[in-house]
A and B are shown apart, each in its own frame.
Chain A
Amino acid sequence: MIEEPLIRVANVKKVYKTGDVEVHALRGVSLDVYPGEFVAIMGSSGSGKSTLMNLLGCLDRPSSGSYRLAGREVAKMNRNELAEVRSEVLGFVFQSFNLLARTSALENVELPLVYRGVGGRERHRRAAHALERVGLGARLDHTPAQLSGGQQQRVAIARALVGEPKVILADEPTGNLDSQTSVDVMALFQELGQAGITIVLVTHEPDIAECASRVIVVKDGNVVTDRKQVPRPARTESPSSSGVSVEKREYP
């Protein structure tokens, strides 16, 4: 049986109009992502990778073309339907963490479940579990100000994980972190990938992209390279030193 791709982008174009000037951010991109893949999208600024990321994240709609996510055509959905898809299928990790200030790690992680209408007790349980999974089980009550940059990004990853999404989209997740912390965060992504979670990550750093199992390079609105690779382990020493407990689980 041939597995259905989780993400199927077919001939997607995106045109922005700035006054009379038309900017072609994407000029007909096609790509499939299958469950369990760890994809790195690379490209310099202005290459169209952010636009692609926004489309994949259902934050924006393509000007033309088709985008099927988890079997649903999302290219023509309205704002409400897109919000629903984001809530059910996607988890986001941002460069600047985007945690709510003066709000505990636990409540930050609970947030996606709030919009899904999950009850308080269940929300607590699942958020605490997600935080344990990223190695922050002891810091549930800490606010972002009381956490280091790496820890904040792990809270953000827990927030992306808590809804058990089909895809985690990470936009330059190491962009605001020092090199050692970047290694820790990438090790976490690799562990999640080994656990069967599909990850799409945008970066411009080649050594970050090396950690993925597939690299897609975007240039001038076109995919110029799409290759599979053997991922380089983010951390050369034993993974247990990260203090991250990895849970093996099956994802559909």
Chain B
Amino acid sequence: MNPFVTIVVALRAVLRNKMRSFLTTLGIIIGVAAVIAMMAIGAGAKAQVEQAFAAMGTNLLIVMPGSTTAGGSFGGFGSMPTLTWDDLAAIRTEVPSVKAAAPQLRSNQSIVSDELNWTTSVTGTSPEYFEIRNWPVATGSIFTQADVDAGSKVVLLGQTVVERLFGSSANPVGQTVRIGKSPFAVVGVLDRKGQSPNGQDYDDAAFIPMTTFAQRIQGGLGKFLVGSIHVQATGSDTTQRALEEVKALLRDRHHIAPGGEDDFSIRNLSEVASAQQQGTETMTTLLASVAAVSLLVGGIGIMNIMLVSVTERTREIGLRMAIGAKPRSILLQFLVEALVLSLAGGLLGVAIGVGTASWLADKFRWPMQIQVDVIGISVVFSALVGVVFGLYPARKASQLDPIDALRYE
């Protein structure tokens, strides 16, 4: 029996009971649709997390000053300055696995333009900071090391701040704003960066040279660096080494005896990022396995209805055998029928899954990524379910005794 005829016969048998065939494949349809939709949304969420962490900076370590201990209660990291400007210089020059380091001194300040004012987070830093965070300017330019050395009153504005102070389409480069009592020249506007993983607006920020920040906002440039240090390792494989080297350097510089507690802490952001990613992956895997169970149930549904079909068509099987069908032809006929059912369910499931993912993404503004490989695997898997669960009924059909089958009422 040639394969084309087998497929036509199977299709006809499936279409003869349209409602029954549809209900039979429903398990597969739901399973595949769920897998596709979950994986699409999961991949979208993962990509979003990745993007958000890339926006914070790649291979990033953040060095925070240590905690104060007052009467037994810890004040939390950053409550007391322990890092010095010399520490920053030492990290830059003495640790080979460090590519760049920049301070981050932060304070909320009111910025005033000619007509409007806006309170935002003002950061004092050095030009390397923008390199570490992969954050170029949209217009103008980043302030220079010379500006830092001189303590110039220059400022870089984020997009949100520009909108609040000058309106959405304005170009403020060259204009003057006041921070506190001092006038600052706007030298550049940074590119739009979007949101942090916890929903904070990166673009609602202004940046001035660290020296200017210390003098104008922190009330003088002292020995201590009142803020944190962003450190970028030379590569993703050296991040952990950079962390250990910076740690050793700072312990040495702060004269901490072996066994003594650090007066600073270092956070490895790539670790945080991979933990987050693992979180989304675990979630996706969990949902996908629930969907896989649905596929399994769908397969059992197919087996059930194929068994019914074999019983119903016992006489037909007997006749086919009497006129020359070999057991193998009968096996193949029912196997292909199960395959047609499950494959049709799989393809319908793909369509519904893609549709559902798009609809959810549209309605709730979730990110999503349709993955071609997941679609391929789902279709192959549903076909496999058809073959596996169709095998038993098909074998049963092929092993019927033609005499009994012909006499079956």
A residues bordering B, Cβ < 8 Å? 54, 57, 59-60, 79-80, 83-84, 86-88, 91-92, 94, 98, 100, 102, 111-112, 114-117, 120, 159, 163
Contact = CB atoms under 8 A, between A and B. Distances in A.
A147 to B, nearest CB: 17
Interface in B283-332: 315-316, 318-329
B1 interface: yes
A84 B326 contact: yes
Given A98-B315, A117-B2, A83 B406 contact: no
Contact of A117 (B1, B320, B403, B406): B1
A57 B406 CA distance: 13
Given A54-B403, A59-B403, A112 B323 contact: yes
B16 interface: yes
Nearest to A103: B12
Contacts of B406: 59, 94, 98
Given A60-B403, A92-B322, A115-B325, 20 more contacts: A54-B403, A59-B403, A80-B327, A83-B325, A84-B324, A84-B326, A86-B323, A87-B323, A94-B406, A98-B318, A98-B319, A98-B322, A102-B16, A112-B323, A114-B1, A114-B5, A115-B320, A117-B2, A120-B5, A163-B324
Contacts of A111: 320, 323
Q: Could you tell me the dominant secondary structure of chain B's interface residues? A: helix
Among B16, B328, B406, residue most surrounded by chain A Cβ atoms (within 10 Å): B406
Interface in B354-391: none
B324 A115 contact: yes
A162 to B, nearest CB: 9
Nearest to B324: A87
Interface string B5-47: 1000000000010000000000000000000000000000000
15 contacts: A79-B326, A83-B321, A83-B324, A83-B326, A86-B321, A86-B322, A88-B324, A98-B315, A98-B319, A98-B322, A98-B406, A112-B324, A114-B1, A114-B5, A159-B323
A120 B2 CA distance: 10
A98 B328 CA distance: 21
A100 B316 contact: yes
Nearest to B316: A100
Contacts, number: 60
A91 B319 CA distance: 11
A105 B316 CA distance: 15
B127 interface: no
- How big is chain B's contact interface, by range? 20 to 34
A116 B403 contact: no
Contacts of A86: 321-324
Contacts of A60: 403
Contacts of B402: 59
Given A111-B320, A117-B1, A117-B2, A80 B326 contact: yes
B119 to A, nearest CB: 79
Contacts of A57: 322
Nearest to A88: B324
B20 to A, nearest CB: 15
A52 to B, nearest CB: 12
Contact of B327 (A79, A117, A163): A79
Contacts of B1: 114-115, 117
A91 B325 CA distance: 13
Contact of A92 (B2, B323, B325, B328): B323
B399 to A, nearest CB: 9
Among A88, A91, A115, A159, residue most surrounded by chain B Cβ atoms (within 10 Å): A115
A112 B319 CA distance: 10
Among A80, A98, A117, residue most surrounded by chain B Cβ atoms (within 10 Å): A98
Contacts of B2: 117
A115 B318 CA distance: 14
Given A92-B322, A102-B16, A83 B327 contact: yes
A57 B322 CA distance: 8
Contacts of B316: 100
A43 to B, nearest CB: 17
Contact of B329 (A59, A92, A115): A115
Contacts of A94: 319, 406
A86 B406 CA distance: 15
B164 to A, nearest CB: 74
A25 B319 CA distance: 23
A98 B325 CA distance: 15
Contacts of B403: 54, 59-60
The 4 closest A-B pairs by CB, nearest first: A87-B324, A115-B324, A83-B326, A98-B319
